[in-house]
Amino acid sequence: MKQKDYLWKLQEIEKNLEQKERILKDVIKGEEISKRIAEHKCIKNDFETQKDILKAKENILRKLEHERRELEYEIEEIKERLYSGKINDLKQLEKLMKKEENKKEELNEIDSKTLEIMEVVDDLKEEIKKIGVKGGTLGSTIKNMLKERKIKIEKIEKDIIKIKAEKEALLKKINEEYIRMYMDIKSKKNNPVAILKEDVCMGCHMDLPVMTVTKLKKQDIVLCNNCGRILYPKSDE
Ligand SMILES: [Zn+2]
């Protein structure tokens, strides 16, 4: 192999390495996972909020039940007095009957209020169940994503070590002078080695003079007259 073949290979390896390092950075950053974790937190908050509301509604139900029992007791008491035969005064009887009627009305109100809240409680329970399922599913998705992420990172890191070793071995085969030249061009331009295709430098897309093309047949390392990249005729074996 000629020096320019090694330099071409070096460029390929470096490109591969840069790509792997970019991917590694993205995987470590884990934007998608962070998004899901934030989403999961929202669901959890929603879950807690709905549960608090449910607790408050259930407290109201308990209070209504208590009120109901008290009212029933009071009505029972009024009835006892009404039908005991001990009260003969008509006015007093009328007053008691009126009181019984009022208490019964109150009882009805409590019943309809109770029904209303029971419906809300049922809906809340259903909603909480749904949120719980959603949170659980997302939770296991996140768990899997984290597991996959760990495996991915390990694989890319292993790949990077392998590619770096490959690069080290290759660098030993290249003249230091050419490595310096390569690095110097790389510090100013991307892809310091450019393919030469039909007398055109694929680095800058300029037609090269015949002299340069002829020179490449005799000389290993020739630079593009226009962009200064190392020319690499791909058909050249
Ligand atoms: Zn060029």
pLDDT digits (tens, 9 = 90+) for 154-202: 999 999 999 999 999 999 999 999 999 999 999 999 999 999 999 999 9
Give, in degrees to the nearest 5, the angle at Cα 70 between 88 and 51.
Answer: 160
98: amino acid identity, one letter? K
Cα–ligand 1 centroid distance for 19 (angstroms): 24
Which secondary structure element, helix H or strand E, spans residue 165, and what is its range?
helix 90-171
Q: What is the pLDDT of residues 90-123, one digit of tens each?
A: 999 999 999 999 999 999 999 999 999 999 999 9
State the pLDDT at residue 95: 94
CA of 235 relative to ligand 1 center, distance in Å: 17
Distance 213 CA to ligand 1 centre (A): 12
230-233 β-sheet, strand order: 206-207, 200-201, 193-197, 230-233
48 alpha carbon – ligand 1 mean position (Å): 64
Cα 151 to averaged position of ligand 1 atoms, centre (Å): 42
CA 203 – ligand 1 centroid, Å: 5
Query: What's the mean per-residue pLDDT of the chain?
Result: 95
Is the pLDDT at 1 greater than 90? The verdict is: no
Phi/psi at 201 (nearest 5 deg)?
Answer: -75, 120
How far away, in angstroms, is 231 Cα from ligand 1 center?
8
Rounded to the nearest angstrom, the distance between the alpha carbon of 36 and the centre of ligand 1 is: 47
pTM above 0.75, yes or no: no
Distance 59 CA to ligand 1 centre (A): 81
**Is the per-residue pLDDT at 236 higher than 70?**
no
Q: What would the pLDDT profile of 65-96 be if each residue is shown by its tens digit?
A: 999 999 999 999 999 999 888 888 999 999 99
202 C-alpha vs ligand 1 centroid, how far in Å? 6
Q: What is the pLDDT of residue 88?
A: 85
Q: Please check the confidence at residue 237 and state whether its pLDDT lies above 50.
A: no
pLDDT number for residue 235: 62
CB 136 within 8 A of CB 23: no
Question: For residue 172, how far is its CA from the centre of ligand 1 (angstroms)?
Answer: 27
Distance 173 CA to ligand 1 centre (A): 25
Q: How close is the Cα of 196 to the center of ligand 1, in Å?
A: 9
Average pLDDT over residues 54-58: 98
